[in-house]
Amino acid sequence: MLTTQNNQFVNSKEGLNNMHPVKKIMVGLDNTEMDTSLIQFASFLARTGSAEYVHFVNVIKRTPLPSPLRQEFPDLLEKAQVDRRRELEKKVIEHFDLTLPAKAKISIEEGTMPSKQILKLADKHSVDAIVVGRKKNLKNNSVVTQRLARRATCSLLIVPEREYTRVSKLMVAVDFTKESVAALEEAVSVARREGAAGNEVEIICHHAYQVPVGYHYSGKSFEECGDVMCEHARKKYDKFIKKVDTAGVKVVPSFALVKNDDVVGNIYKTAQENNVGCIVIGGKGKSASTALFPIGTTTEKLVERDSEIPVLIVRHKHKNAGIIDMLQRI
């Protein structure tokens, strides 16, 4: 079902345990070939997350017009928006599964910063997940993605430019925190819905661990200390996995010793070696205390990496984002 009216999103009703369900999805399009990948993956996400609405948004850059031109062509922008909407409608009809219960909606907006406009709309409609693209070797695109990752108050899915049909394997990067619990819950939800449709999805629960600085003072070798850390990680995993209902879903634990401080590199390499269709990781909640210090985290570095694998940052919506509301206006 496709609609281009500015209807309000409806409230979500169900979820898995304490996980916030993905009912409202917003997809940032830019009228390039990247749109096909985004629409295809949004269709997959809508199916697995039982979405009610998928909102496709395109931001037309605001360009100041000379007064004489404005007077001669007062409806220039309006006509451009109509043309753009028609172009995007064709793409959505071709690449989005319109047989899904989710209603597809298209909006054409005007602004100077696409990320700022998307954040404003996401907040206005209280969306559960934003989907954006990642183009190869395009610096400006990376800046937009990083801005969204830092300031979005919901989950963020970063999709590389390629064709998508279905995902058969997910990898959840875990550090055994509550954010990792939320990420695994999201992955389990996807796997369950795909399984119900006859598509089995396996989940790799991956933990990259390191040997502490100064390990040699313990009298143990690097390998011996690594074995101790691995055993400790396995015990933490045993406690961690009990916090999530994984019944009916194949979840395989994975552990790796990082020798060069490149945790993100290890996560990405493991995903590549296992033909993972999407990396899932928990993001810190957007409260005033966490919003200003995202740099240096594993999640942030995954966003910065020029990855060919989609990355889903799971973040529960917060009613009181505090200082974020101010930052989004900057």
Three-state DSSP class for residue 156: strand
Nearest to 117 by CA among 151, 93, 83: 151
Provide the number of structural domains found in the chain: 1
Query: How confident is the model at residue 242, as a pLDDT?
Result: 96
What confidence tens digit (pLDDT) does each residue in 167-221 have? 899 999 999 999 999 999 999 999 998 888 888 999 999 999 999 888 777 888 8
Query: How confident is the model at residue 103, as a pLDDT?
Result: 92
Mark the ranges of the chain whose per-residue pLDDT is less than 70: 1-20, 65, 70, 74, 136-142, 164-165, 285-296, 306, 317-330
Three-state DSSP class for residue 253: strand
Nearest to 233 by CA among 243, 241, 245: 241
Query: How confident is the model at residue 15, as a pLDDT?
Result: 36
Give the number of other CB atoms < 10 A from CB of residue 201. 23
What lies within 8 Å, CB to CB, of 100 at 6+ separation is 43, 46, 47, 51
Task: Give me the count of residues in the chain.
Answer: 330
Determine the structural domain holding residue 91 and report its residue range: 2-327
Instruction: Judge whether 41 and 144 are in contact, CB under 8 Å.
Output: no
Record the tokens describing residue 218, joined without a space: 């313990």
What lies within 8 Å, CB to CB, of 3 at 6+ separation is 103, 104, 105
Instruction: Judge whether 119 and 156 are in contact, CB under 8 Å.
Output: no
Query: What is the CATH classification number for the domain harbouring 206?
Result: 3.40.50.12370
CA 48 and chain centroid, separation: 14
